[in-house]
Amino acid sequence: MNRWCYFEGAPDPAERVLGQCTGCRLYDGDVKTNYKDGTISVSTHKITYHGQNVTLFIPLRLIISANSVPGSWNHSPKVELFAQQWEQSLKPPGPQSTSRSNEVRFAVAKKRQEDFAVQIIQRALEERVWEKQARQSQTIPGILAASGKSRGIGAVVKSQEAKHEKENAMTSEGLQDLKKLMKHADDLAKLAQTAATKVDGQDEVAKLRSMMMSLGLENDNATGELGLEKELAVVCRPLIEKSGGMMVMEEAYCALNRARGSELVSPEEVYSAAKSISKTYPAAGLLFKKYDSGIAVLQDSSLSDAAVVERILALITEFPEGLTAENYSAKAGFSPIVAKEHLQMAELKGDLCRDDSSRGVKFFPNLFQLHSC
Amino acid sequence: MSGQAWQVSFPPFYTLQKNEETRKKQLDAWSSLVIEHSRKTSTSTIDLSEIRRSVLFTNSKIERQASIELVEAVFSQLVQKGNAIWKDKSKSKCLLSSQTFSSLAAALYNWAQMSGHINQVCTIFELSQGEEISGEIFQNVPEEIIIIALKLLQKERKAELIGTDGVKFF
């Protein structure tokens, strides 16, 4: 009941009355008051109660929500408002300084009037006309002079709304981008269709190749049919020389695409180019090799198994305590995976034997074989 | 061990080798070491996990002990060669003979023929410790092993075991 205050003075010039109900009675919480048979009027700025010789009001900025409570056989229909407390400094005098409840209730005389009143109040709360007014004329004293910033729950609600609006804007912007993308996709689809129709003829392969080039899938004519093989040779040759004569396919793939920078090629393409490189492009002097363990390498074609074994046997004399894959990898410059493969290959050929102890696997010259000769 | 084989101080000797040929040579070396060891210690019944822990399969100098799979492979080879038979289904124990069972069987039958013991009954003890068999390869061979050799002859219908102590040659 302490939300209601005496109204003195003139209404705001920008204020409009939105609706009225007659025969209303105010409540303090659930308890009837003597303010009865008055007229409640809802304006863009406030809710006013005109009694017989008194006028009370609540500014809309204090109202958080409005609900209607339908009547029953012994209760009149009511409007229930949730309202913030008055700001201490702004509160004009009122009939009561305390309240039984944060709800402000008033009863209406006729059925359906409560719904009508709630609708009007809600619309006024949405429009927030009082706020615009306050922003434009911050110096006007009185209730409307409250700073342009809203406070309390109202502020939270407002900031949420603002955020929501911003998100909406962003979403629609994103959809715009998507539309653009779809337009591009359309172009691409058309291109593919023309490609398909053009290919329907003789010389399909050549045509497809030219189409692919126009799509940027093939770099240029100079490399011709052996494009990828040549690239592999150019990119991997120096790396292979540096790393003891071979590299695993994963490294080759990475190196190739790193060199390309853009227009990357798929692992499958690199793999198939490498597989056939010794036949299709022997000038590269490279050989694709797949070890029993499943790892695949690209290696110098002059690097035979026998040469590898010879090198290991020369190296192993430096390791009377046994040669590990790590030792060998460090000495020969191979990656550890390749080093392990080499040692196992030499073992299977009978040139090495293994010592598998708690200290790991070490390789020794195959003395079993040497002693029996 | 005096006159130690070179393999004993070679670390890969204690790891079962992967290359087939290498593995065969390794196991051959182990087999002769095992037989020599059993002759020296006069043990014919061998517990695999026990012998793995013995000095035969362990070299503390180079901190190596034969892997379980290696010991199993060594004795499987001995069984295959006819120098040993499993004493249980789980293959944890075996009976080891320095001569193969078949060569013992042949020597026994040959002796029976040469010494006129065909159609006669001999005791197992006689065949192992008797005066008549001095100089034969089965002299002092444990009775348990003699019985296995005789069982081979029985399969060929050249002998018949009588009870647990006797045999009759045909």
Of chain A, the percentage scoring pLDDT greater than 70 comes to 85
Kindly report the CATH number assigned to the domain that includes residue B12: 1.10.10.570
Question: Is B82's pLDDT higher than 80?
Answer: yes
Is the Cβ pair A353, B17 closer than 8 Å?
yes
Count of domains forming chain B: 2
> In angstroms, rounded to a whole number, what is the distance separating the alpha carbons of residues B77 and B86?
12
One domain for residues B18 and B42: yes
* Residue A333 to chain B, least CA–CA distance (Å): 26
Q: Which residues of B touch A (CB under 8 A)?
A: 6-7, 10-12, 14-15, 17-19, 21-22, 25-26, 29, 63-64, 67
Of B54, B74, B96, the residue that ends a domain is: B96
Of B70, B96, B122, the residue that ends a domain is: B96
Please write the tens of the pLDDT for every residue from B11-43: 999 999 999 999 999 999 999 999 999 888 888
Give the per-residue pLDDT at A373: 52
One domain for residues B22 and B87: yes
Task: Give residue for tokens 């609600």.
Answer: A157
Number of other residues whose CB lies within 10 A of the CB of residue B66: 22
Number of other residues whose CB lies within 10 A of the CB of residue B61: 8
Task: Give residue for tokens 């009976």.
Answer: B95
Is the Cβ pair A354, B18 closer than 8 Å?
yes
Is the Cβ pair B19, A366 closer than 8 Å?
yes
Cβ partners under 8 Å of residue A345, min gap 6: A291, A305, A308, A309
Chain B residue numbers touching A354 (CB-CB < 8 A) = 12, 15, 17-18
Please write the tens of the pLDDT for every residue from B47-79: 999 999 998 999 998 899 999 999 999 999 999
- pTM of the complete model: 0.53
In chain A the beta strands, taken as DSSP E runs, fall at 5-6, 17-28, 31-32, 38-43, 46-50, 55-59, 63-69, 78-83, 103-107, 246-248, 286-290, 296-300, 352-357, 360-365
One domain for residues B47 and B71: yes
Contact A86, A2 (CB under 8 A): yes
Domains, chain A, with CATH or none: 5-150 (2.30.29.30), 151-218 (no CATH), 221-300 (1.10.10.10), 305-372 (1.10.10.10)
Average pLDDT over residues A6-19: 82
CA distances in angstroms from A260 to A29, A216, A218, A230, A238, listed in the order given? 78, 13, 12, 13, 16
Of B96, B125, B151, the residue that ends a domain is: B96
Q: Print the domain residue range for B70.
A: 6-96
Give the per-residue pLDDT at A218: 46
> In angstroms, rounded to a whole number, what is the distance separating the alpha carbons of residues A146 and B31?
105
List the beta bridge partners of residue B85.
B95
* Residue A353 to chain B, least CA–CA distance (Å): 6
One domain for residues B131 and B82: no
* ipTM of the complex in this document: 0.83
Give the per-residue pLDDT at A291: 80
Kindly report the CATH number assigned to the domain that includes residue B127: 1.10.10.10
Domain-embedded: residue B135: yes
> In angstroms, rounded to a whole number, what is the distance separating the alpha carbons of residues B71 and B13?
11
One domain for residues B72 and B149: no
* Residue B21 to chain A, least CA–CA distance (Å): 8
Domain-embedded: residue B156: yes
